[in-house]
Amino acid sequence: MHLDRVNERTFEKSVLILSGLSGAGKSQLAAAYVKSQLNQDPQREIFWINGRDKKAFETSIVQFHRDNQKSQISTQTQVAEDTDKQTSEAVDSFLEELNQPENTGWLMVLDDVTAWNEGGVFSTDSVDLSNYLDRISQGSILMTTNRQNWLIGHGNVLRVGGLDEAAAMGLLKSKLHGHYICDEGMLSPKRT
């Protein structure tokens, strides 16, 4: 409800963080929310961004910018300095577009925000990523992260707990797609 467009206040930013251990289902929960939003509001603009680190974040943004603006940014054939400048310009342009007064109601999913070093020490990539997010002044942002120390001061936090044993086994079996069989309570390779 926190991120639904009907609850969004114009020119205000809403942030919700799904926090939990790797494999707890944060990304799946975010994907289910996106699917429900598209069913309820097919016109809502939704961006799924890889938030692992600065490079992944920028690459996702450049892809959106390239698709929407027919940009000619090439990350493979240009000199690194030129590419960095064009990437920075594309990210700046994308963030400016998000902040336009007429551009409200969008949802950005920042998936897998894990750019923080162990022990709470910040990397330069994570600081830059946080600085990008601070430049967004409106819209809805849903983040998934397994980092607990990153959460201070970044929005509302919903902690996603681990699965119980039955649910974990069900999830494991659903992912195996018939490659393994259950043999006396143990999973073993399927013999052909």
- pTM of structure: 0.71
CATH 3.30.70.1230 assigned to domain 5-161? The reply is no
Distance CA 22, CA 26 (A): 8
Residues 46-56, mean pLDDT to the nearest whole number: 90
Could you tell me the pLDDT band of residue 129, with boundaries at 50, 70 and 90?
low
Residues 11-34, mean pLDDT to the nearest whole number: 87
Which pLDDT does position 116 carry in this prediction?
Answer: 47
Count of residues making up the chain: 192
Q: Any idea where the domains of the chain sit in the sequence?
A: 5-161, 163-192
pLDDT tens track for 72-89: 444 444 445 557 888 889
pLDDT tens track for 32-45: 999 999 999 899 99
**Tokens 């750019």 -> residue:** 115
Distance CA 91, CA 10 (A): 23
